[in-house]
Amino acid sequence: MATAIFVNLPVKDLQKSIQFFTQLGYTFNARFTDDKAGCMVISDTIYVMLLTEPFFKTFTNNGIADTSKHTECINCLSASSREEVDSIVAKAVAAGATTPKPPQDHGIMYGHSFLDLDGHHWEYMFMEPDSQN
């Protein structure tokens, strides 16, 4: 069995977050989605659990990061082309996201990022196939 990853992120308004990511083309696993959590499917082994802040707090004794002042992490996902990178960021901005930086073009690697409705940092990047060897 392949190892799966479940990234857990606190959100202020679960329904708005689900609508936001649905506009980007993601789906949600209904078995693990309710009024406290939404299970966003990235791939067969990658999931993002969008948890209401009160529910998120039940999993940790630490406070929730203030994303207006701090970056808790950068969630970076690969894309199949530069056009796909630009397309997903454009969809995110149209759905209410902001872009913290302009696109980054490093020749063999191209990336762009956005901050979602809760300030979580998402980056999409494309790497030229020959550069991965």
- pLDDT on residue 1: 83
Which amino acid appears at position 43 of this protein? S
- pLDDT on residue 130: 75
The CATH class of 67-133 is alpha beta
Task: Give the predicted TM-score (pTM) of the model.
Answer: 0.93
Per-residue pLDDT of the chain (133 residues; tens, 9 = 90+): 899 999 999 999 999 999 999 999 999 999 999 999 999 999 999 999 999 999 999 999 999 999 999 999 999 999 999 999 999 999 999 999 999 999 999 999 999 999 999 999 999 999 988 765 5
Q: How far apart are CA 14 and CA 41, in angstroms?
A: 15
Q: What is the Cα 56 distance to its own chain's centre? A: 16
Spell out the residues 6+ positions from residue 15 whose beta carbon is closer than 8 angstroms to its own. none
Q: What is the Cα 94 distance to its own chain's centre? A: 15
Spans of all domains in the chain: 1-59, 67-133
Cβ distance 13 to 35 under 8 Å?
Answer: no
What's the CATH fold of domain 1-59?
Answer: 2,3-Dihydroxybiphenyl 1,2-Dioxygenase; domain 1 (3.10.180)
